[in-house]
């Protein structure tokens, strides 16, 4: 068990999991804790579909097939700015290079990169996969509230000794997910999440992403010290 400070420090995006299962009660605990996250007017946006076993395998198989066929759709919400500003593009490149370097995938290894990207749609072989949606008519602030809910799942998982990874790539395959899980048209597929026990020996679980130093993202005023 870890405290909040430790959970924030130790949380990592886990991209390889062991075969150790995660049971119903463990996931229930995570979601009940996460639902304590704040939200404007207590709207509590977001809905979670929790999959394991055969249902997760079926969804993963369909997503992988769509990926191999290039059967994507425009995302139902804007995740990244378009075009990506140069300073943000550089951060994106750095984390991508760090991941591929940890796996020994060269910059020009297109097939290696494709194979690694495909693992998003396998939920990185985690025993539990989440699909997170939001009501279509909600405003941008509700996406902020949903983000706090998702972060709370990450932190609760870390506290419980579980690994997790958000999967934004699912948003490009919302048509596949909607059909497989019978998601109504008034819900937007936001992202997925993999949950399980991190493989401590996997190289992709070892590298650290760099965070901006405090002076680059904050300004203080009025303090005497």
pLDDT in tens, 125-167: 999 999 999 999 999 999 999 999 999 999 999 999 999 999 9
pLDDT at residue 104 in the model: 93
Cα–Cα dist 108/21, whole Å: 36
Q: Which string of b and e fits 214-223 if b means at least 16 CB within 10 Å?
A: eeeeeeeeee
Question: Which residue in this structure is represented by tokens 């500003």?
Answer: 85
Identify whether 38 is part of a domain: yes
Tell me the whole-structure pTM to 2 decimals.
0.94
pLDDT at residue 208 in the model: 85
pLDDT at residue 2 in the model: 84
Identify whether 90 is part of a domain: no
- Domain limits for position 37: 4-81+121-206
Domains of the chain: total: 1
Cα–Cα dist 61/44, whole Å: 31
| Average pLDDT score over the chain | 95
Residue pLDDT, tens place only, 11-25: 999 999 999 999 999
Identify whether 29 is part of a domain: yes
pLDDT at residue 57 in the model: 98
CATH number at 155 reads 3.40.109.10
Q: Which residues pair with 185 in a beta bridge?
A: none
Identify whether 12 is part of a domain: yes
H-run or E-run covering 132: strand 128-135
Given a cut of 90, is residue 76 above it in pLDDT? Answer: yes
**Which of 163, 161, 183 shows the shortest CA–CA distance to 173?**
183
């Amino acid at each position: 068990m870890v405290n909040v400070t430790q959970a924030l420090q130790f949380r990592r995006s886990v991209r390889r999991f062991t075969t150790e299962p995660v049971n119903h009660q463990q996931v229930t605990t995570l979601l009940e804790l996460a639902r304590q996250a704040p939200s404007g007017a207590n709207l509590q946006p977001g809905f979670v579909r929790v999959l394991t076993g055969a249902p997760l395998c079926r969804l993963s198989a369909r997503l992988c097939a769509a990926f191999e066929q290039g059967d994507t759709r425009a995302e139902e919400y804007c995740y990244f700015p378009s075009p990506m500003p140069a300073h943000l593009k550089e951060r994106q490149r750095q984390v991508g290079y760090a991941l591929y370097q940890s796996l020994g995938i060269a910059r020009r290894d297109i097939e290696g990169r494709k194979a690694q990207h495909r693992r998003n749609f396998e939920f990185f072989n985690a025993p539990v996969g989440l699909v997170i949606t939001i009501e279509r008519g909600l405003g941008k602030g509700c996406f902020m509230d949903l983000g706090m809910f998702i972060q709370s799942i990450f932190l609760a998982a870390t506290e419980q000794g579980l690994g997790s990874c958000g999967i934004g790539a699912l948003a490009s395959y919302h048509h596949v997910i909607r059909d497989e899980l019978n998601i109504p048209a008034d819900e937007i597929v936001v992202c997925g999440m993999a949950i399980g026990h991190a493989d401590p020996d996997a190289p992709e679980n070892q590298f650290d992403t760099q965070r901006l130093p405090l002076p680059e993202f904050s300004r203080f005023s009025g303090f005497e010290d």
